[in-house]
Amino acid sequence: MIPFVDPILSRLRSRIDETDVELIRCMAKRLELSKEIATRKKQMSSPVLQPDRATVVQNNYRQLADDFGLSAAGLGD
């Protein structure tokens, strides 16, 4: 006997799968950009970690989380 597959549930799952691909693609793009930044910082003899920039990024993450109704917990300090 073939189990019933709800078409709405199936479409929703497909959309989640598509979103997962987008997330991984975005993470790969971000990693590549980070590598380019690291290379440029090395060329400029600039410190890898810049606390002021890290604070700006963290604040942006918190604001984005809030904008999307997500908890900012776990985003780091």
Distance CA 15, CA 36 (A): 32
Query: How much is the pTM?
Result: 0.75
Residue 2 above 90 pLDDT? no
Which tens digits make up the pLDDT trace of 28-40? Answer: 999 999 999 999 9
Would you give the distance in Å from CA 76 to the centre of its chain? 14
Average pLDDT of the chain?
Answer: 92
Domain ranges within the chain, ordered by starting residue: 1-46, 48-77
Contact call for residues 58 and 76 (beta carbons, < 8 A): yes
